[in-house]
Amino acid sequence: MILQKLNLSKHMSKQTIKPDQALVKRLLIRIDPLFLTYDKSKQDKERQSYYDQHDDMITEFLFKHVFEIEFEKDVDNDDKLCKEQLDLFNAYLTSLIGIGENSFIYNEYQSEDSDLSTYPSLYDYDFEEFHFQQNARKEHFESNFIEMPYRLYLNSNWSRLLDQQGCFYYSTQSSLSHYLIHKLYEHAAERMDQLIPHNFVEGPNNDKEIKGGIIWDFKIDANGLETQLEELEDRYRKYLNQILHEMNKTLHEDSESAVYFERSTVDDDEPRWDIIIKNAQTAKNISFQTYLKDCEKYLKPKEELEELYQQELEKLNAFIDQNYHDVMENFDPKVRRLKRKMKVIVAPEALEGLSRIRDEEE
């Protein structure tokens, strides 16, 4: 999209996106003329639901006053925004509905009665979320359910925030153990492709429409080594699952608090500020009201985070290499464990979303 008659420079650059707080205040008053008379706790409680209640009005206001774009009711107006404009729209929305000093919000589904301002700490939110998910698994998958003790549950939780200068960031929250495991899984997948090159090939039923959506039918082609690849993948997944349990236990019992930051650089296309939290003890000291200030109290050097990763990476590489040679030399590919076959059905709107992400990346 070519931007005409619109100067975004006062709001953003490639790495700085800063919503105009005077404009945010005008919008808050338009939504609720009494908003500025409320105390801080009531403001935080009320503002979290504003977009759900007034999405058309908010979008129309921002389209007009920020982008000079016409808003059409009952139309997907997101398609009218380029990536830079969408980032700025998200920044305004974060400033509008986020709570605390950093306008913190989760960019994930929340129940209608959810209110982040009621949680004294991040720990209280995470503890409740963990037990909610445990109860859901017990209810829906009772035969396979295994009761697990609480450990810090943050797992790449999508969030958004503003820093102390009012600049916007996309963010994630992760426990230290989940952060390390995700990186190790990514490395293991890359290592698999190096040891046994493979790719996905389209199956005969791919894209067939059935009730509920479209069949996703792809199979792995590893040049005749599909069974060996599957065996090696099973082994490293079991290994990493065990490592996750061990790290969760060790970190939970560690009384030291620590936070690590991973921030985008000037070369990145969007501002990111990912936050890694060591354990539940640390989360008890972090409030949504003073989120970044609390995190900074326990900030550790990024080099320490990298050192922790490299220690686990060295052990993972040794495990993979040892098991690769064992599989290639001793594993009988004719002997296969029985596994339940699954049919993957993708909703059409999910495919549309993936297409949109792909278009933005291009």
Distance, CA of 205 to CA of 215 (rounded, Å): 7
Q: Inter-axis angle of helices 83-97 and 50-62, to 10 degrees?
A: 130
**Is a pLDDT exceeding 50 seen at residue 362?**
no
Q: What is the pLDDT of residues 274-297, one digit of tens each?
A: 999 999 999 999 999 999 999 999
Please tell me which residue, 112 or 54, carries the higher pLDDT value.
54
Please tell me which residue, 263 or 208, carries the higher pLDDT value.
263
Distance, CA of 17 to CA of 255 (rounded, Å): 37
Residue 152 corresponds to which tokens in the numbers above? 């810090």
Mean pLDDT in residue range 325-331: 95
| N-to-C CA span, the chain | 13
**pTM reported for the whole predicted model:** 0.86
Structural contact between residues 62 and 7, judged by C-beta atoms closer than 8 angstroms: no
Residue 105, SS3? strand
Q: What is the pLDDT of residues 99-125, one digit of tens each?
A: 999 999 999 887 778 899 999 999 999
CA distances to 194, 198, 228, 354 from 219, rounded to whole Å, are: 18, 10, 15, 20
Residue 13, SS3? coil
CA distances to 48, 101, 108, 181 from 174, rounded to whole Å, are: 23, 21, 14, 11
Select from 159, 168, 171, 170 the least CA-distant residue to 21: 168
**Is a pLDDT exceeding 60 seen at residue 267?**
yes
